[in-house]
Amino acid sequence: MTSRIAWDEARYPIATSSRIARHNHATGRLWYSAGHLFSQFDSPARTRGSTALVSGRSILAHTIAVALTQAGVSPKLACAAARRFTDIADPHEAPGFSRAPGQLFEGSFTYLAVYPDGDVKVIRTAGKQVWRQNKATGERERLIEKPAVEDLLLGAGKREGCWLLPLDFIVKHVEIELQKASSETR
């Protein structure tokens, strides 16, 4: 996460969080007021009609939770799973690799695995390279890197169904939108 963003400072209204998460504002407010998304860094509304302010970290959790509910996860579990990524970095997630809370694993793909029993795992996968033959030069060209599903599931150490959410694009989306929101408030 970049330093220009107020990751742990209550600076953004819930309306901004809902806009970035692409979520209905009234529903977003409900999720925050139910305690599913507020963190220690946020500032709830003190009186009726006043504005609650949330941190960038909470906006990231909100955006991840919305993506999980779109995949069929209940809102309560989705918010808890999102907070698992944004607030905790377990050194046992990917032995030999580390990440800070709310950050992606470097040089790899980061996934959030949410299991029906409520267990949540942050998974790192290095991906697979896909190559094609350039007809003009005869050389091989790398097209994309994609994660191997077996790496994801074996990395989680479970053998049951789960929801897998790729986090890389979500984190980048939130970073870009928070940079815009931060520059608008200056």
- Residue 4 domain-assigned? no
Residue 56 pLDDT > 90, yes or no?
yes
- The verdict on residue 43 lying in a domain is yes
Query: What confidence category does residue 166 fall into, taking pLDDT thresholds of 50, 70 and 90?
Result: very high
Residues 64 and 66: their CA atoms lie apart, in Å, by 5
Does some domain include residue 71?
Answer: yes
C-alpha span between 42 and 48 (Å, rounded)? 17
In a domain, 5, yes or no: no
How many angstroms separate the CA atoms of 121 and 154, rounded? 12
In a domain, 2, yes or no: no
Residue 104 lies in a domain: yes
Assess if residue 46 is contained within a domain.
yes
- pTM of the complete model: 0.81
pLDDT-derived band at 153 (thresholds 50, 70, 90) equals low
Which domain range does residue 145 map to? Answer: 12-184
First to last CA, the chain: 20
For residue 1, pLDDT over 90 is answered with no
Q: Is 106 helix (H, G, I), strand (E, B) or coil?
A: coil
